[in-house]
Amino acid sequence: MRMAWLLAAVLVLPPDPAGAAERRCGWLHNPTPANWWLRDRDGEWVLSLQGAPPVPGMEEIPDMTVRGWVAVNGHYGYGCACLTLETERARRRVIRVLAAEPLPLARCRADRALPSPG
Protein backbone atom coordinates (compact mmCIF):
# COMPACT_ATOMS: atom_id res chain seq x y z
CA MET A 1 0.00 0.00 0.00
CA ARG A 2 2.80 2.41 0.89
CA MET A 3 4.42 1.71 -2.50
CA ALA A 4 1.15 2.53 -4.28
CA TRP A 5 1.00 5.93 -2.54
CA LEU A 6 4.61 6.64 -3.45
CA LEU A 7 3.98 5.75 -7.08
CA ALA A 8 0.84 7.92 -7.15
CA ALA A 9 2.76 10.86 -5.67
CA VAL A 10 5.52 10.55 -8.28
CA LEU A 11 3.01 10.44 -11.13
CA VAL A 12 1.32 13.62 -9.89
CA LEU A 13 4.53 15.67 -9.66
CA PRO A 14 4.95 18.21 -12.45
CA PRO A 15 7.53 17.11 -15.03
CA ASP A 16 9.16 20.54 -15.28
CA PRO A 17 9.24 22.32 -11.93
CA ALA A 18 9.90 26.05 -11.97
CA GLY A 19 13.51 26.76 -11.26
CA ALA A 20 14.82 23.51 -12.71
CA ALA A 21 18.49 23.85 -13.65
CA GLU A 22 19.44 22.81 -17.14
CA ARG A 23 22.45 23.20 -19.43
CA ARG A 24 21.63 24.86 -22.73
CA CYS A 25 24.07 25.35 -25.58
CA GLY A 26 23.77 27.58 -28.61
CA TRP A 27 24.33 31.07 -29.94
CA LEU A 28 24.73 33.70 -27.22
CA HIS A 29 23.75 37.10 -28.61
CA ASN A 30 24.70 40.53 -27.25
CA PRO A 31 23.88 42.82 -30.20
CA THR A 32 23.59 46.09 -28.26
CA PRO A 33 24.12 47.27 -24.66
CA ALA A 34 22.11 45.29 -22.08
CA ASN A 35 20.50 43.00 -24.67
CA TRP A 36 21.43 39.33 -24.18
CA TRP A 37 19.74 36.10 -25.23
CA LEU A 38 20.63 32.50 -25.96
CA ARG A 39 19.25 30.85 -29.08
CA ASP A 40 19.37 27.06 -28.89
CA ARG A 41 17.58 24.16 -30.60
CA ASP A 42 14.42 24.90 -28.56
CA GLY A 43 14.20 28.62 -29.26
CA GLU A 44 15.21 31.90 -27.67
CA TRP A 45 15.97 32.40 -23.96
CA VAL A 46 16.04 36.09 -22.96
CA LEU A 47 18.61 37.03 -20.33
CA SER A 48 18.49 40.82 -20.47
CA LEU A 49 16.72 43.58 -22.39
CA GLN A 50 17.46 47.31 -22.38
CA GLY A 51 15.30 49.12 -19.88
CA ALA A 52 14.44 46.00 -17.88
CA PRO A 53 16.35 44.35 -15.05
CA PRO A 54 18.52 41.43 -16.19
CA VAL A 55 17.96 37.97 -14.79
CA PRO A 56 20.06 37.32 -11.68
CA GLY A 57 23.45 35.76 -12.31
CA MET A 58 24.41 37.66 -15.46
CA GLU A 59 27.81 38.26 -13.82
CA GLU A 60 28.45 34.52 -14.34
CA ILE A 61 28.87 35.14 -18.09
CA PRO A 62 32.63 35.45 -18.69
CA ASP A 63 34.45 37.37 -21.40
CA MET A 64 33.00 35.70 -24.48
CA THR A 65 35.74 36.92 -26.81
CA VAL A 66 38.25 34.35 -25.48
CA ARG A 67 36.84 31.45 -27.55
CA GLY A 68 35.57 33.28 -30.59
CA TRP A 69 33.21 36.19 -30.98
CA VAL A 70 31.62 37.65 -34.09
CA ALA A 71 31.49 41.43 -33.74
CA VAL A 72 28.59 42.93 -35.69
CA ASN A 73 28.13 46.29 -33.94
CA GLY A 74 31.40 47.60 -32.54
CA HIS A 75 32.35 44.96 -29.97
CA TYR A 76 28.74 43.71 -29.67
CA GLY A 77 27.84 40.53 -31.48
CA TYR A 78 27.47 36.82 -30.81
CA GLY A 79 29.37 33.71 -29.85
CA CYS A 80 28.86 30.06 -29.03
CA ALA A 81 28.27 29.09 -25.40
CA CYS A 82 26.76 26.66 -22.93
CA LEU A 83 24.81 28.20 -20.06
CA THR A 84 23.51 26.47 -16.98
CA LEU A 85 20.20 28.15 -16.24
CA GLU A 86 17.30 27.93 -13.84
CA THR A 87 14.28 28.06 -16.10
CA GLU A 88 10.56 27.75 -16.45
CA ARG A 89 10.92 25.57 -19.50
CA ALA A 90 7.25 25.51 -20.50
CA ARG A 91 7.24 29.33 -20.72
CA ARG A 92 10.81 29.47 -22.06
CA ARG A 93 11.65 31.86 -19.22
CA VAL A 94 15.07 32.23 -17.62
CA ILE A 95 15.00 32.69 -13.86
CA ARG A 96 18.75 32.74 -13.11
CA VAL A 97 22.11 32.20 -14.82
CA LEU A 98 24.12 29.69 -12.77
CA ALA A 99 27.18 29.26 -15.02
CA ALA A 100 28.40 30.04 -18.52
CA GLU A 101 31.12 28.59 -20.71
CA PRO A 102 32.30 30.11 -24.00
CA LEU A 103 32.80 27.54 -26.77
CA PRO A 104 34.58 27.66 -30.12
CA LEU A 105 32.37 29.04 -32.89
CA ALA A 106 32.94 25.82 -34.84
CA ARG A 107 30.93 23.85 -32.29
CA CYS A 108 27.73 25.83 -32.88
CA ARG A 109 28.34 26.05 -36.63
CA ALA A 110 28.56 22.24 -36.76
CA ASP A 111 25.34 21.70 -34.79
CA ARG A 112 22.60 21.25 -37.40
CA ALA A 113 19.91 21.55 -34.74
CA LEU A 114 20.82 25.20 -34.14
CA PRO A 115 19.36 28.00 -36.24
CA SER A 116 21.68 30.33 -38.10
CA PRO A 117 23.11 32.98 -35.74
CA GLY A 118 22.29 35.83 -38.07
pLDDT for 30-41, tens place per residue? 999 999 999 999
In a domain, 28, yes or no: yes
Contacts of 87 (CB under 8 A, 6+ apart): 19, 20, 21, 22, 45, 93, 94, 95
Q: Is residue 1 part of a domain?
A: no
Query: How many domains does the chain contain in total?
Result: 1
Q: Is residue 8 part of a domain?
A: no
Is residue 22 domain-resident?
yes
Q: Supply the pLDDT for residue 104.
A: 95
**What does the pLDDT look like over 41-92, one tens digit per residue?**
999 999 999 999 999 999 999 999 888 999 999 999 999 999 999 999 999 9
pLDDT over threshold 70, residue 14: no
Residue 6 domain flag: no
The answer to whether 95 and 85 are in contact (CB under 8 A) is yes
Range 94-103 average pLDDT = 97
Helical H runs in 52-94? none
Is residue 27, in this structure, part of any structural domain at all?
yes
CATH code for the domain of 76: 2.40.50
CA distance 79 to 70: 6
Asked whether residue 11 is domain-assigned, the answer is no
Domain span including residue 33: 16-110
Q: Is the pLDDT of residue 3 over 90?
A: no
User: Are 28 and 79 contacting, i.e. CB atoms less than 8 angstroms apart?
Assistant: yes
In a domain, 118, yes or no: no
Query: Kindly report the CA angle at 6 between 5 and 10, in degrees rounded to 5?
Result: 115
Q: Nearest Cα to 23, choosing from 49, 56, 45, 55?
A: 45
The reply to whether the predicted model has a pTM over 0.95 is no
pLDDT band at 19 (very low <50, low <70, confident <90, very high): low
Contact between 104 and 68 under an 8 Å Cβ cutoff? The reply is yes
